[in-house]
Structure 1
Amino acid sequence: MEPHTGEICAHSMFESEEEELAGQAQAWKYTFAFVESLAVKSVVLLGIPDIIARHGPKATLSLSQIAAELPSEKPDVNCLFRILRFLVAKNFFRAETSGGANEVRYGLTPASKWFVKGGAAAPSVSMIAMLLMQNDVTMMAPWHHFNECVLDGGVAFEKAHGLHLWDYAAAHPDQNCLFNQAMACNANIVMKAILSKYEGFQGLNSLVDVGGGIGATLAEIVKAHPSINGISYDLPHVVAMAPHYPGVKHIGGDMFREVPSADAVFMKWIMHDWEDEDCVKILKQCRKAIPETGKVIIVDTVLNPREKTALDPSMGLVFDLAMIAHTVGGKERSEEEWKNLLKEAGFPRFNIIAIPALQSVIEAFPY
């Protein structure tokens, strides 16, 4: 028997040529997975979904028509064609052939309608801000440090930038603005889903949105339920940028030390930013802020939810990795993990309510 050299013969790992080729196909996809997102980012920055949408939700435009509306006197039409060809193959745009010269005309798909500022898709369902934030070089850099996090621990964002995300945002107003816009983008999407399915805001006279950002989420709730007096509660540098919303009061503070009193506490995409110990601290402050008949309304991902939706459940695992990239100990949780977390914080009873979004509504009760 020949001595083991530590080297692996590639062909010996596959049971057949078919398996080898299928694996190679997947390997190429993983290697260039970033291309789809950045190609979409390029056409969003160029405003191409908006250019098409201005002509109607079912409109199709030729390459020359699209190029004519770009903010450039001499756009590289060949480069544009190749990007659009790729995104048609990925079903981001649709293509139709018409005319004697077989001219290709490009139109919107259900996916690209989410990246229109107005017109064919209402601004409330645009994902532009989230796309631009997640693909920003600052937010992408921590992903390149995952192997270091595995080997020696630490925080990916700090390894990339020398600061935790919240400290970095406080020191960089432009980045803070980008982050807040992305959170407002998510708020619009999720609140549309919540307000269409969740009835738990009825009967409330006051509601505090902990980690409420610039108040976009709470403004939607108060608009739908005018009897609610809303308090948007976040760090001072965040609320300093908050616009005025009818029925919403902005308060700056630290949720680890205090939460303003209200009938109920609302937290959207907050718990997943923190490790279990920190979540318990936050929840205990929320417990102090509500009466015995009150509740905490959490909007967050539940991994492997019982009720399935049309959305890919594996996206919860994607967001779980995003928590490694951008937070200190944050993670997505299963129903059992939520149960244990809430019980430790003084909430023995809870409900999980499915909504048409990646997140679920988790109602927690102190009795």
Structure 2
Amino acid sequence: METQGSLENHISALDIGNSLCIQMTLNTAIELDVFNIIAKSGPGSGAHLSSKEIVSQIPTTNPISAAKNLERILNLLSVNSFLSISLRPATANDKTVQEKTYGLTKNALCLVPNEDGVSLAPLIMTGSEMFTIQSLCKLKDSVLEPECSPFYKAHGEPYFEYISKKPEFIQLFEKLMIMRSYLYFDHKVLEAYRGFQELKELMDVGGGDGSSIAKIVSMYPHIHGINFNLPSIIDQAPKYQGVKYVKGDMFKSIPKTQSIMLKEVLHNWDDEHCKKILRNCWDALPKAGKVIVVEYFMIPEELIKNTPETMNSITADIMMMTLTSGGKQRTTAEIDHLAISVGFVETNIFPITHVTCVIEFLKRNIE
């Protein structure tokens, strides 16, 4: 059995120990608008700026000291493949003195808004919020006191109640949801899943601002789209053509409808709450009705080490355990079990990617 000798041969723990510093440094660069400043200075990955040139576009009390500190931040990002470094003469008169300039790598380009105005920056920023980090510091309490979520332990109230009082974070959270929908729903689910074609009416239960059902209706204009959500969310939602807005609470009852979509809803809740939602869906549907479940980070039946998809799913599961009381990422078998327990008789699974799935629950067997 290896003991002390193994310390000098294994650096994995060292890398993990430094990961929070890297994440917060990356978040700092996003907050300072570093990546956008470089991107605006020239096309693609060819543009390079010095720390002084970047600081000239950032409000600071001391530009000289700020440029020195920023360079240290940029150096860390460069060795972690977020920036490239090149050298150029510091002055036109003295070409022997060179200064570092920094450009965007492929890893950094995803943090700059694309042609549709979407980037991965909200993902970094939401994960770097102090209340999230404080909750993760209480992760051990999920084992010591499993009745109480780490978030509740840290802040004294449930996650969604807490963030509802933080309008600035709500805006960031909405950007995160737009980003996730753009990546997984718009460019994965809508391209691969054809089950919407046969529908005449679809109610998006817990459908956020209505953008998802609006995209479905725009792609399939014959569908009568309904966005069903809490009054507080419906009142602030933008109005989309072809979408009807209905206020209510999915835990109390769901209006009668021909078919229902639950997009990233079930992972927020424990099994009993999920069963309550699905039971209300069952009651709302006609005999030939169905529920369409969309989940982005399903837990694979077999865990394969070091694949990005599996790591993202397992990490998402830990975040759900940290932030919510009972929320979790599930396997397709676990979701199927929830559906069967409330009366659905058939489950159809449509894998979109390794961890993104569309799952249909049928109220009766197709004859």
**Which bracket does the TM-score occupy, shorter chain normalised?**
0.7 to 0.9
> Which region of structure 1 is more displaced relative to structure 2, 159-168 or 69-78?
69-78
Are 1:244 and 2:239 matched, yes or no?
yes
SS at match of 1:257: coil
The one-character-per-residue Cα deviations of 1:339-364 (angstroms, maximum 9, x if unpaired) are 21221122232233233585322222
Q: CA deviation at 1:329?
A: 0.6
Unaligned runs of 5+ in 2: 90-94
Are 1:65 and 2:83 matched, yes or no?
no
The 8 Å contact of residues 190 and 357 in structure 1, kept in 2 or not, is answered as no
The match for 1:138 is: 131
Q: CA deviation at 1:137?
A: 1.6
For residues 57 and 115 of structure 1, what CA distance do their matches in structure 2 show? Answer: 13
The match for 2:68 is: 78
The match for 2:143 is: 150
> Which region of structure 1 is more displaced relative to structure 2, 288-297 or 33-42?
288-297
**Counterpart residue identity of residue 331, structure 2:** S
Pairs aligned (count): 350
The match for 1:126 is: 119
Q: CA deviation at 1:307?
A: 12
Q: CA deviation at 1:252?
A: 2.6
Q: 1:67 to 1:171 in 2, by over 3 A?
A: closer
State the percentage of identical aligned residues: 29
**Counterpart residue identity of residue 180, structure 2:** N
Q: 1:65 to 1:21 in 2, by over 3 A?
A: same
Q: 1:106 to 1:346 in 2, by over 3 A?
A: farther
Match of 2:259 among 261, 264, 289: 264
The one-character-per-residue Cα deviations of 1:187-228 (angstroms, maximum 9, x if unpaired) are 222222212222222132222111111223222222322222
Are 1:163 and 2:157 matched, yes or no?
yes
Match of 1:94 among 76, 84, 89: 84
The 8 Å contact of residues 14 and 20 in structure 1, kept in 2 or not, is answered as no
The one-character-per-residue Cα deviations of 1:309-350 (angstroms, maximum 9, x if unpaired) are 974312111111111111111111123212212211222322
The match for 1:4 is: none
The match for 1:46 is: 32
Match of 1:37 among 10, 17, 23: 23
Match of 1:207 among 202, 205, 210: 202
User: Cα RMSD between the aligned structures?
Assistant: 2.7
SS at match of 2:81: coil
TM-score by length of 2: 0.85
SS at match of 1:61: coil
Are 1:107 and 2:94 matched, yes or no?
no
**Counterpart residue identity of residue 161, structure 1:** H
The one-character-per-residue Cα deviations of 1:100-124 (angstroms, maximum 9, x if unpaired) are 666544332333222113xxx2345
**Counterpart residue identity of residue 65, structure 1:** E
Are 1:228 and 2:223 matched, yes or no?
yes
SS at match of 2:74: helix
> Which region of structure 1 is more displaced relative to structure 2, 67-76 or 162-171?
67-76
The 8 Å contact of residues 170 and 237 in structure 1, kept in 2 or not, is answered as no
The 8 Å contact of residues 303 and 310 in structure 2, kept in 1 or not, is answered as no
**Counterpart residue identity of residue 108, structure 1:** L
The one-character-per-residue Cα deviations of 1:145-201 (angstroms, maximum 9, x if unpaired) are 122231122122211111112222344444444333322332222222212222222
For residues 221 and 9 of structure 2, what CA distance do their matches in structure 1 show? Answer: 56
SS at match of 2:253: coil
Q: CA deviation at 1:15?
A: 4.9
Q: CA deviation at 1:274?
A: 0.8
Are 1:297 and 2:292 matched, yes or no?
yes
Are 1:342 and 2:339 matched, yes or no?
yes
For residues 20 and 319 of structure 1, what CA distance do their matches in structure 2 show? Answer: 30
The match for 1:56 is: 43
Q: 1:258 to 1:307 in 2, by over 3 A?
A: same
Q: CA deviation at 1:234?
A: 2.0
Q: How does 1:310-329 map to 2 (within 5 A)?
A: 311-329=308-326
For residues 128 and 248 of structure 1, what CA distance do their matches in structure 2 show? Answer: 30
Q: 1:86 to 1:246 in 2, by over 3 A?
A: same
SS at match of 2:358: strand
The 8 Å contact of residues 232 and 251 in structure 1, kept in 2 or not, is answered as yes
The match for 2:190 is: 195
Are 1:179 and 2:173 matched, yes or no?
yes
**Counterpart residue identity of residue 48, structure 2:** L
For residues 36 and 251 of structure 2, what CA distance do their matches in structure 1 show? Answer: 42
SS at match of 1:69: coil
The one-character-per-residue Cα deviations of 1:116-153 (angstroms, maximum 9, x if unpaired) are 13xxx234541222332222122332111122231122
The match for 1:7 is: none
The 8 Å contact of residues 210 and 267 in structure 1, kept in 2 or not, is answered as yes
